[in-house]
Structure 1
Amino acid sequence: MATTQVNRRRTALAEIPVRMSQLRVSTDEVPVLLNRTVIDSPLDNIPLGYLTPSPSQDELIIRQRGRRRSINWSPDKIPSSTAALLSILRTPTKSTSTMTLRSSPRKRLHLDSVASSSVMLSPHSIGQSPTRKIRTPQTVATPLSAYTPQMKRLRFTESPIAQQNQTTPLSKILKGLSQSQLINVIQELVNNEPAIETKVRNNLPIPDIRPMEEQLIQLKKNIFKSLPTSRLMKNTDSVGHSRAATHLATFKKTVVDQSNQLNESENWDALLDYTLMAWPVVRATPVWDNKTHNSVRRSCFKILSWHCLCALKTAGNALGEQRLKDLFNQMAAMKADCDDISACEPHLDNILDSIAI
């Protein structure tokens, strides 16, 4: 049995060279095999692409380039033909632009105005295309008015309706004018007319501070509305101050503007009345746990103290006895809020003594 198996193996090994010779194809037989319509050999199952493979696109490009040239690093000048060939064979690189991707609108408008103004026609180029001369932004200074359109004011030759309509009451017409317009109208009427000016001065009332008081009270309410309403949080801590910081700044600005308006107009009696009115409103603002947060409160007290001192120094006895007594009665409570009001006490005593005499 063992001898039979050995003989079979030897017979199979002996058939391998014969079968391999049948698979071999000589170069002379390839055209014959390609031109035959019917192939009975074992090559019938082999694709023709394996016998004559076609080169790829990359290989065709490499063949067209030819033999790679060695790079010459010498500083000698390269011939123009060689430079042109190298520029063709060189791999293209991404072009970099010097223009920034982002620029401000003012700079873009500036560059556009420079480009439009740089188109000039020479006197010798009549009938030819214009030449564009671009100047750098450093050499051309474009005024700021070139960027903003100039709006023309409307001018009417006809007289205003307020002058034509005689049935409308004058008081109603004056409500539509601004403060500066009213000042100009009155100033034109009293110019070179002493009698009219004296009559207007005698009829001028004391400035009304009630609208100012209403505005201050409303701003004080806004401060308290901005504070936290939770029972677990304090209203006067740092969190509450951060929420009310904007309203505190608005309150301080209003006090400064209103007091300056009365001071610049030299209505000293109204300024002293404003001080007595605004002081309790400032006192009613929140007192914060951190002392540095009370800077707005202290600033308002100092501003009112300074204006009160200006009124006492300038007006004196003209302020009226009743107004000065009211200030004297409130002086003790005002000194507890701010020590700067103490500077007004000597002037107040001197004025009251002069009135008593």
Structure 2
Amino acid sequence: MATQINRRRTALAEIPIRMSQLRVSTDEPPVLLNRTVIDSPLDNIPIGYLTPSPSQDELIIRQRGRRRSINWSPDKIPSSAAAILSILRTPTKSTSTMTLRSSPRKRLHLDGVASSSVMLSPQSMGQSPRKIPRTPQLTTTPIQSYTPQTKRLRFTESPIAQQNQKTPLTKILKGLTQSQLINVIQELVNNEPNIETKIRTNLPMPDIKPMEEQLLQLKKNIFKSLPTSRLVKNTDSVGHSRAATHLTTFKKTVVDQAQQLNESENWDALIDYCLMAWPIVRATPIWDNKTHNSVRRSCFKILSWHCLCALKTAKHVLGEQRLKDLFNQMASMKVDCDDISACEPHLDNILDTIAI
């Protein structure tokens, strides 16, 4: 117990001594009364660590001169800094003559532009090589449409049909179009006028049998397109929507065939065509909605108009038997279309003149 009290007394006695050491006096340095005071941590560090001596490399660098401070202003950039910035700058897209995934037409056009361009040399320009620009300037040429060169077929002086005498003339004529046959006959008639009378006397009436077969096939396609289920009605809107394309084709065929006979002024064949096509049009389906029957009505009106044109133009030249057939079918044709009634007075007048 006594030892602890003595230790406390010695510790309290050292407090004023240490406080005196912390005081700063401008007159005299502090006098250390007791050397047992702990020194500063800096006293244990060697002097070489606090003020290190410069190395040999540092001495060489100092002898070279004063270091230049880098000015980062955009107005004045040193050459070394400019070189560094040019290296660190993001690379721009380099223009090259190679084009990836380009069409053949574009590649051919680029090759043509490159071949037509003029490379300027320093001698031709009269300048030193330092003044030549790095990228050569290509002369721009207007873009022209590229047409691929194809091999042309070389025909002989005369066709094979003229040289081969063994082939029958009928087979050769089958390969010609209608316009070619017309041109050949017209040239023969111009050279020899007497041939025209022979050709006219031997010309047959146009054959409407292929036309009838085509109309029957188109009518068959219309009925094939209709639904076959017993639970669905064929003449409703659903059935018309499925057969609409075939109905349009059927109408176009009737118009083209009748117009062909009308333009050729084969009036007798035109009357026969109207009598043939009328029952086929009548056999087309009748739809529940009246607006869907427009194709059917149009076909009847077209046939009535062509029949009237033939009666007005040809009259008694049509033949007595043909006119009687038309007169016998006139009553049933009126039920389908009232426009055919316009042909009845002309037909009566022609039959009256023939009877007299």
Q: TM-score range by the shorter chain?
A: 0.5 to 0.7
Q: Distance in 1 between matches of 2:148 and 2:305?
A: 44
Shift of residue 327, structure 1, vs aligned partner: 1.7
Shift of residue 175, structure 1, vs aligned partner: 3.2
Aligned to 1:224: 223
C-alpha contact 2:254 2:299 (8 A) present in aligned 1: yes
Q: 1:229 to 1:260 in 2, by over 3 A?
A: same
Q: 1:93 to 1:355 in 2, by over 3 A?
A: farther
Shift of residue 134, structure 1, vs aligned partner: 7.2
Aligned to 2:143: 140
- How is 1:59-98 mapped onto 2 (pairs within 5 angstroms)? 79=77
C-alpha contact 2:235 2:286 (8 A) present in aligned 1: yes
TM-score (norm 1): 0.63
Give SS of 1:191's match: helix
Q: 1:164 to 1:93 in 2, by over 3 A?
A: closer
Shift of residue 150, structure 1, vs aligned partner: 4.5
Shift of residue 334, structure 1, vs aligned partner: 1.9
Matched, 1:215 2:211: no
Q: 1:191 to 1:89 in 2, by over 3 A?
A: closer
C-alpha contact 2:236 2:288 (8 A) present in aligned 1: yes
Give CA-to-partner distance per residue, 1:44-76, whole Å, 9 cap, x none.
xxxxxxxxxxxxxxxxxxxxxxxxxxx99xxx7
Q: 1:78 to 1:209 in 2, by over 3 A?
A: farther
Shift of residue 256, structure 1, vs aligned partner: 1.8
Aligned to 1:275: 274
Aligned to 2:182: 183
Pairs aligned (count)? 272
Counterpart among 110, 130, 135 of residue 115 in structure 1: 110
Q: Distance in 2 between matches of 1:249 and 1:182?
A: 31
Q: Distance in 1 between matches of 2:143 and 2:91?
A: 35
Shift of residue 197, structure 1, vs aligned partner: 0.6
Q: Distance in 1 between matches of 2:75 and 2:104?
A: 45
Q: 1:176 to 1:282 in 2, by over 3 A?
A: same
Matching residue's letter, 1:318: V
Aligned to 1:249: 248
Aligned to 1:170: 169
Aligned to 1:293: 292
Shift of residue 339, structure 1, vs aligned partner: 2.6
Q: Distance in 1 between matches of 2:346 and 2:310?
A: 10
Structure 1: runs of 5+ lacking an equivalent: 1-27, 29-70, 98-102
Give CA-to-partner distance per residue, 1:67-101, whole Å, 9 cap, x none.
xxxx99xxx758487787677778x6998x9xxxx
Structure 2: runs of 5+ lacking an equivalent: 1-44, 46-71, 96-100, 125-134
Aligned to 2:153: 153
Q: 1:89 to 1:275 in 2, by over 3 A?
A: same
Q: Distance in 2 between matches of 1:124 and 1:86?
A: 32
Give CA-to-partner distance per residue, 1:109-162, whole Å, 9 cap, x none.
66445434424244965999x9673759xx6352xxx34555523302355256
C-alpha contact 1:252 1:300 (8 A) present in aligned 2: yes
Matching residue's letter, 1:214: E
Q: 1:218 to 1:159 in 2, by over 3 A?
A: closer
Q: 1:87 to 1:351 in 2, by over 3 A?
A: farther
Give CA-to-partner distance per residue, 1:257-315, whole Å, 9 cap, x none.
21122122111111111111111101111111222222222222222222222212222
Aligned to 1:352: 351
Q: 1:140 to 1:94 in 2, by over 3 A?
A: closer
Q: 1:110 to 1:163 in 2, by over 3 A?
A: closer
Shift of residue 212, structure 1, vs aligned partner: 0.7
Q: Distance in 2 between matches of 1:205 and 1:126?
A: 84
Shift of residue 224, structure 1, vs aligned partner: 0.8
Q: Distance in 1 between matches of 2:122 and 2:346?
A: 86
C-alpha contact 1:162 1:173 (8 A) present in aligned 2: no
Q: Distance in 2 between matches of 1:161 and 1:203?
A: 24
Determine which structure has more spread, i.e. the larger CA radius of gyration: 2
TM-score (norm 2): 0.63
Aligned to 2:332: 333
Shift of residue 354, structure 1, vs aligned partner: 2.9
Kindly, what percent of the aligned residue pairs are identical?
Answer: 67
Q: Distance in 2 between matches of 1:211 and 1:296?
A: 22
Aligned to 2:260: 261
Greater shift in the superposed pair: 255-264 or 211-220: 255-264
Shift of residue 328, structure 1, vs aligned partner: 2.0
Q: Distance in 1 between matches of 2:340 and 2:255?
A: 17
Give SS of 2:191's match: coil
Shift of residue 196, structure 1, vs aligned partner: 1.3
Give SS of 1:154's match: coil
Shift of residue 173, structure 1, vs aligned partner: 3.9
Give CA-to-partner distance per residue, 1:304-353, whole Å, 9 cap, x none.
22222221222222111221222222222222222332332333233233
Aligned to 2:56: none
C-alpha contact 2:118 2:138 (8 A) present in aligned 1: no
C-alpha contact 1:120 1:131 (8 A) present in aligned 2: no
